[in-house]
Chains A and B, each alone.
Chain A
Amino acid sequence: MHKHAIELEAVDKRYDKTAVVDNISLQINSGESFVLVGHNGAGKTTLMKLMLGLTQPNAGQVRVLGKDPASRAFSALRRGLGYLPESVSFYHHMTGFELLRYYARLKGVAVNEIGKSLQQVGLLEAANKRLHTYSKGMRQRLGLAQAILGSPRLLFLDEPTTGLDPSLRRDFYRIIGALRASGSTVVISSHSLNEIEAQADRIALIKNGKLVACGSLEELSRLVNLPVRTRLTVAPGQAAGIAGQLEAHFRIDEINDHDITLVCPVDHKIAMLRHVSDLGDAVLDISMSAPRLDEIYLHFMHEEQQ
C-alpha cells in the first residue's frame, strides 16, 4: 500500500502552447477525500485526465498507485478505478442494465454487483429502459453507478453534482461517503464550494493551471487569516453611540440605525466577545460568521491577481 495514492511532481501540460496545467506538485493520500476547486477552465479536468492517464504531461511526473497512469503496466490497476466524467455520455441505444453489464465485464466485476450498484443510485426500476429515455439526473446517477462498480480503491468525480437537484446531491454525497468509509480514495473537482466543504479532507485551489493553495479547510483559513464578522443588533437609534465605544478596538465594517458589523482577526474573537458583553443590555442580539470556503477561495483568487 502506498502512502500516497496519487503523486504529481512539477507537472506541466500544454495544449497548443497554452499552459493548462502549470508546474503543479501535489500528493493525495490513500483513503483521503481530495477536492480540486477552481473556476471553469482552471485546469481541473485536465489534472484529472493526467491522473487517469488519458493524457500525458509535457513535463514532470504523475504517479498513481505507484505507477505512471499512462503506461501499459497501469492497465491492470484500472480495475480498481472509478471515473465519472464531467457531462458523461453513454451508448443511448442500450438499457441501463446492459450498459452496466458491459462496463462490469470490462472491469472484471461480478454480474451480481450490477444490481447492487443500480440500487445504490436508485435506478433499479429504470434498469431495463433504454438510455435515451433517461433524464439528465438519471444519466448522472447511472454515471455514478458505473463509477462505483466493484467498489473502486480510487474514485474520480469530475463536477459530479452540476445540474442535480438538492435531494439528488444528498444521495450522491451519501454514496460517496459510504465509499470513503470503506477506505477508498476520492478525488472530486468542483466549483460549487460550500457544498463540497463537508466532503473534503483536503482542498487544492487551482487557478489558471497553477496550484494556488492546498490543505485542509482549517489550514487554509489559518493561512489567509480571514477576519470573523460579528453582527450586533441594538435598540433603534443606539447604533452610532455603541459603535463609538467599540471603534477604538475593532474595525466597524457596516453600520445603520440598529445594526453594527464588526470585523476582527480570528485570534481576537474572545477579546471581542468580552467587550461586547461589557456593553450589557444595550446589545439585543449577536451573530458571528467564520470564513467559509467561498471567502477563502475568493481571497486566494483575488490575492493572485494583485
Chain B
Amino acid sequence: MNPIVILASKEIHDGMRNRWVAATILLLGMLALILSFLGSAPTGELKVAALEVSVVSLTSLSMYLLPLIALMLSFDTLVGEFEHGTMLLLLTYPVQRWQIIAGKFAGHTSILLLAILIGYGTTLGVLILANEGDTTGWQAYAAMMATSLLLGCVFLAIGYLLSSLARERAVAIGAAVATWLVLVVFYDLGLLSALMIDEGKHISEGLFSALMLANPADAYRLFNFAGFEDISKLVGTSSVETGLLAPLASMLTWILIPLILTTIKFQKREL
C-alpha cells in the first residue's frame, strides 16, 4: 500500500475516533439548516431562489467557521508528533517526508470533504424538499460546497506551515488563532477602515479588488458572491469585478505555497 494512503487513512481514523468528524458534520449541518431557514424568510420580496439565498448565508458562515476548523485540525500535525516523540520513529520507516505531508493533507481534506458533503449536502436536500422539488440555483450551491472545501484546504496548508515552524504545540495553537483573527476577522475590518479614511483618493477599485483577492477568505467570498449576479446584487459586492478564475487562482496559490514551504521546512528539520 502507498504510504500516502496509509497516512491519510490514519488521519481519517483518528478524526473519527476523537469525534472531530462527527462534531464538524454536526456543527456545519446544524448551522447550515438554521441559517438557511432564517435566510428563507425574506425571499418573497427579493425574488431569488431559496437555494441562492442559502449560498449567501452559508458563504458567510463558512468563511468564519471552516478556516477555524481547518486550523484546529492541522496546527498540531507536525509539531505534535515531534513533541510527542512519534515523528522520530515514523521517519525511520520507509516513508519520504513529503509523503508524510501529502498523506496528512489527503486525510484532513477527506475529513473536511466528508463534513461539507454531509453537513451542507443534508441542508441542500432539505431545502429542495422545502421548495417542493425546485432545484433552481443548485449549481451555485454546489460551487459553494466545492469552494468551501478549497477554503478549508487553504487553512489546512497554513496550519501545516505553522506546525512546521513552531517548536512547541502551544506556540502553534497561538499562531493558528492569530492567523485566523488576522486573515478572517481583522483583514476586512482593516480594509474597510482604510477605505473610509482614504475616501477614494489612493485606493482605486483595482487596488481594492487586488487586496480582496490577496486574502483567501475574501477570495472565497468574492467567488461565491460576485460569481452570481443575483447574489452580488443582494449583498452589494457587485462593484468588485474579479470574475471566477481570479478568486480560484488565489485560493489554489494559498494552498500550494504553504504546502511547498512546509515541505521545505520539514525536509531540513533534523531530529
Tell me the A residues contacting B by CB distance below 8 Å. 49, 52-56, 72, 75-79, 81, 83, 85, 87-91, 93, 102-103, 105-108, 146, 156
Contacts and interface: CB of A to CB of B under 8 A. Distances in A.
21 contacts: A53-B92, A54-B91, A55-B271, A56-B270, A72-B96, A75-B96, A78-B94, A81-B92, A85-B89, A88-B85, A88-B89, A89-B85, A89-B86, A93-B18, A102-B10, A103-B93, A105-B6, A106-B3, A106-B94, A107-B94, A108-B1
- Interface residue tally of chain B, by bracket? 20 to 34
B33 to A, nearest CB: 31
Given A54-B91, A106-B6, A89 B84 contact: yes
B196 to A, nearest CB: 50
Given A54-B88, A85-B85, A85-B88, A78 B18 contact: no
A105 B1 contact: yes
A87 B85 contact: yes
Nearest to A76: B94
Nearest to B10: A102
Contacts of A87: 85
A81 B94 CA distance: 9
Interface of B: 1, 3, 6, 10, 14, 17-18, 84-86, 88-96, 270-271
Given A93-B17, A106-B3, A55 B92 contact: no
B94 A79 contact: yes
A49 B91 CA distance: 11
Contact of A108 (B17, B86, B94): B94
A52 B88 CA distance: 10
A53 B92 CA distance: 8
A107 B86 CA distance: 16
Contacts of A54: 88, 91-92, 270-271
A91 B94 contact: no
B244 to A, nearest CB: 39
B86 A83 contact: no
B29 to A, nearest CB: 25
A151 B61 CA distance: 53
Contact of B92 (A72, A76, A78, A93): A78
Contacts of B14: 91, 93
Contacts of B88: 54, 85
The 3 lowest CB-CB distance pairs between A and B, nearest first, are: A89-B85, A78-B94, A55-B270
